[in-house]
Chain A
Amino acid sequence: MDAVKRRWVPYFFLSPYMLFYLAFGLIPMIFSLYVSLTSWNGISEKTFVGFDNYKFLFNPDSYFFKSVGNTLLFVSFTLPLQIIFGLIIASLLYSRWVKWKGFFQLVNFLPYIVTPVAVGLMFNLLFDWQSGFVNKILLHLGLIDEGIYWLGDPLYARMVIIVMLFWKGFGYTMIFYLAGLANIPKDLNEAAQVDGASGMRTFISITLPLLKPVTIFIVITGIIGGFQLLEEPMLLLGGAGMGSSAAVIGGPDRCCLTTVWNMYDTAYGSMTRYGLGAAIAYGLCLIIACFSFIGARFYRGEPE
C-alpha cells in the first residue's frame, strides 16, 4: 500500500510545473506553429497558406535576414569587448590588490540590472543631436564644429548601439568570471608561484584554460540573449512614445532593426500580420537552435 502511494510522489511535485508549462508554454507554441502557416490579421478568418510565410522570409521585403544580420553584427562586436573587460575587472577584483571589492563589484554590475527601456532612453538622451550630453561635451572641447547626428546616420547609430550594449553587459560577464575564479582551487596558483612562474604566466597558462567553460557559457548565453534584443535599440532610436512610431522602425535604413523588433513590428506594429510574425519567431528559433547545437558541441568537447 505504502509503496504504491509513494510512486505518485514525484509526479505530485512535478505537476505544477508541467501544468503551467503545458497551458502557457507548449500549447501557445503549437498554436503559433499553426498560425505561422496561415494568413491572419487577428480579426478576419484565417486562411491556410502552407509555407508561404516561410518563403517570404527569404524575400528582402520581410527584412528577416537583414535583421538577423544586424543582430549578429551587434553580438560579434559587443561580446568580445564584454568578455575582455569582464575578465579584466573580475581578475582585478579577485586579486589581493584591490580594496572595497564589494562596492566595485556592485557598481560594475548596476548597468546590467537597469530596465532595458531605461537604458535605451538614457542613451537616446545622451546622444541626442541637439540636447545630448555627448555632443555638448564635444562642442565644448572644440573637437567638432556642429553637433553630430548620432542617431540619424547608419554607421553612427550602430556604433552607439554597440557602446550601449557593451556598457550594459560587461558587468554580467564580470559576475560569471568572478564565480568561475572562485571555483579554481587556490593551491594550483600557489604551486605555480612556488615553481617561479610570474603572475602573468600563471594567469595565461592556468587561470585562462580553467575559465574556458565559463567563457563558452557566456558566449552561448550571449548569442541567445543577443537574438532577443529589442528594447534598447527600439527606445534608443524611437525615443519615448509608445512602441515605435512608423517613421523610425529599425533606425536609419533599418540598419538597427533586430529580429524581435522585426517580429513585433510585423505582428503588432505597422502591420498586423500574425502569420508572418509567428513565422519570424519560428525562423529565429531555428537560427538559435543552430547556434545552440554548435555551442553544445564545443561545450562537450572541452572537459578532459
Chain B
Amino acid sequence: MSPSLRTVFSTTAIAILSVFALLPFYIMLIMGTYQNEDLFTKIVLVPGTYLLENFKTVAASRFDLVYLNSLIVSLASTVLSVFVSAFAGFAFAKHHFKYKNKIFAAVLLTMMIPGQLGLVAYVIEMRYLTLSGTLLPLIMPWVANAFGVYWMTQFIKSAVPMEVLESARMDGCSDVGVFFRIVVAFIYPAITTLSLLVFLWSWNNYLLPLIIINKPELYTIPLGITALGDAYRTDLAAQILGLTLGTIPVLLLFAIGSKSFIRGLTAGSVKG
C-alpha cells in the first residue's frame, strides 16, 4: 500500500469507530429538540424545532441550583484533594522519616479497598455529626485520596530536583515556602491530570448523594437528572435535554484539558 492510501484507510477506520462512539450522544442531542409525542412515532435524525420549549421545562425544575451544587462539590473536592495529595506526596518523595516505606505501602493498599466498604457507617457518622443537611458529606471522601498521594509521590520524585530544594533551604526558605514556591511550579502537569480526574469522579458520583442527600435543594447533577424523570415522567424530551445539559461541563473540561491530561498520564504512572 502506498503511504497516502494507508492514511486514507487508517483515518477511515478510526472515523467509523468514532461514529460508533458519538452516535448515542448524537441521538440524545437530537431527541432533546423534539416534542415529546414525536419521539414515539418518528425516527428522528435531524434537529427538530422544540428545543426552546424543552429548555423552559428543564429550567422550571430549578436545574440551575442543581448545577451550582455540583460545581461547589466538585470544585471543593478537587482543590482539597489535590492540595492534600501533593502535601503527602512531598513528604513521601523528598523527606526521610521512620517507617516511611511501610506507611507508603499501607496507603497503596488502601487503593485496593472499594469505597463502599465503610459506606454504611459513613452515613451514620454524617448523621451523628449533623452534617447530612449539607453538601460536606459529598466532599469529605475525596480529600484523603490514596490514588492522588501515589500519583503525586511518583511525580514529585522524578520531576523535582533535590538540588533546587536544598539550595532554597540554604537561602533560608521555610519548608512550607519550599513547597508553595518551588515544588508546585514543577508539578503542574500532575496537578492538571489529578484535578481533571477528581473533578470527573466527584461530578459523576451517584451512590453517596443518593443515600445521604434527601433535600431537593441539595441535589447534585446525577440526582437532578433522575429527579427530572420523576417530575416529567411523561416528558421524555425534557428529560433527555436535562441529560445533555448535565453532561456538557465535563465534556467541555476534557475538551480543553485532554492534551495535558494525556501528557500527564504518559509522564506519570503507567511506566509499570
B236 within 8 A of A: yes
- Quick check: B144 and A123 within 8 Å, CB to CB? no
Interface residues in A, total, Cβ within 8 A: 101
Q: Smallest CB–CB gap between A101 and chain B, Å?
A: 9
B215 lies within 8 A of chain A by Cβ: no
A12 CB, min distance to chain B CBs, angstroms = 7
Residues of A within 8 A of B84 (CB): 16-17, 20
**A193 interfacial by beta-carbon distance below 8 Å:** no
A15 to chain B, nearest CB (A): 8
Number of interface residues of B (CB under 8 A): 92
Report how far A16 CA is from B144 CA in the complex, Å: 8
Which of B10, B24, B204, B262 lies at the interface centre, i.e. has the most chain A CB atoms within 10 A of its CB? B24
How far is B207's CA from A282's CA once the two chains are assembled, in angstroms?
17
B6 / chain A contacts, CB cutoff of 8 Å: 97
Could you tell me which residues of chain B, from 35 to 76, have a CB within 8 Å of some CB in chain A?
Answer: 39-40, 43
The reply on A106 being an interface residue by CB < 8 A is yes
Cα separation A14 to B83 with both chains bound (whole Å): 11
Question: A20, A93, A113, A140: which has the most chain B beta carbons within 10 Å?
Answer: A113
Contacts of A137 in B (CB 8 A): 43
B182 CB, nearest partner CB in chain A, Å:
14
Q: Is the interface of B mostly helix, strand, loop or mixed?
A: helix
Q: Is A171's CB within 8 Å of the partner chain B? A: yes
Q: Is the CB of A228 within 8 A of B270?
A: no
B118 touches A109 (CB 8 A): no
Taking a contact as CB atoms under 8 Å apart, the answer to whether A99 and B88 are in contact is no
Binds B, one of A58-66, A201-209, A234-242: A234-242
Tell me which of A26-34, A72-80, A148-156, A247-255 binds B. Answer: A26-34
Per DSSP, chain A at the interface is helix
Q: Is the CB of B87 within 8 A of A167?
A: no
> Which residues of A (107-128) have their CB < 8 Å from a CB of B?
107-111, 113-118, 121-123, 125-126
Contact check: which of A93, A99, A123, A281 meets B117 at CB < 8 Å?
Answer: A281
How far apart sit A117 and B222, CA to CA, in the bound complex (Å)? Answer: 6
Within 8 Å CB of A121, what residues of B? 225-226, 229, 239, 243
Interface residues of B in 215-272 (CB under 8 A from A): 221-223, 225-230, 233, 236, 239-240, 243, 246-247, 250-251, 254-255, 258-259, 262, 265-266, 270-272
Residues in B lying within 8 Å of A, measured CB to CB? 3, 6-7, 9-11, 13-15, 17-18, 20-22, 24-25, 27-28, 31, 39-40, 43, 83-85, 87-88, 90-92, 95-97, 100, 103, 110, 112-122, 124-125, 140-141, 143-144, 146, 149, 175, 179, 200, 203-204, 206-207, 210-211, 221-223, 225-230, 233, 236, 239-240, 243, 246-247, 250-251, 254-255, 258-259, 262, 265-266, 270-272
